[in-house]
Amino acid sequence: MSDDEPRISVMVVDDHPIWRDGVARDLTEHGFDVRATAPDADAALRIARTVRPDVVLMDLNLGTTSGVDATREITAALPSTKVLVLSASGEHKDVLEAVKAGASGYLVKSASAAELVDAVHRTAAGDPVFTAGLAGLVLGEYRRMADAPAEGAEPPRLTERETDVLRLVAKGLTARQIAERLVLSHRTVENHVQSTLRKLQLHNRVELARYAIEHGLDEE
């Protein structure tokens, strides 16, 4: 990150003070702007409204409160804030509930510091991020949830290259990885992404990935 580039702002939500402070300290050392920490869901929403972080790192087990509820409330109140769940649980039910509540990604606490730093960067950029093994679960769930197209509805018409890019977005590749795979410039890939977002009337890469998954574009 260059000196002129604004730092990614983060808030850490966890009911264990030692873990919470440790994660905050690690992120600060890696150049993130850790604006606040919170011990529970109520404090998380209240503080998030004040500091408006780019990314909230959210634990699910917050004692008597629910990280899923906090995720739902924060994403509803602050649409530009992304929530990345950082939980000890890798249970399928917890993962799906968090994603349905609006989480952009899900990382288990056994992840390395390097994986966490990368995940926060990618989440801030709008990429869906999941611990290895959990992405397939989310893909399958969205495929099951997908409704059949309305009878007589005309689907948006994407170019062949836009479809290629969309297919790789659904597989979880970053814009730079897609550029390498398709032998395109990073700017060209971003232009295709923005064009596809406009055509599909979507707002970010997370919604784009969900659309692609629902329409089976993550499959070869």
**Residue 78 CB neighbour total at 10 angstroms:** 16
What is the per-residue pLDDT across 156-184, written as a single tens digit (0 to 9) for each? 678 888 888 888 888 888 888 999 999 98
Comparing 8-12, 28-32, 101-105, the range with the smallest average pLDDT is 101-105
Give the mean pLDDT of the chain. Answer: 84
Q: At 36, is the pLDDT very low, low, confident or very high (cuts 50, 70, 90)?
A: very high
Contacts of 204 (CB under 8 A, 6+ apart): 126, 197
Percentage above 70 pLDDT, the chain: 85
Give the single-character DSSP code of 5. S
- φ and ψ of 178, to 5 deg: -65, -40
With a CB cutoff of 8 Å and minimum separation 6, the contacts of 180 are none
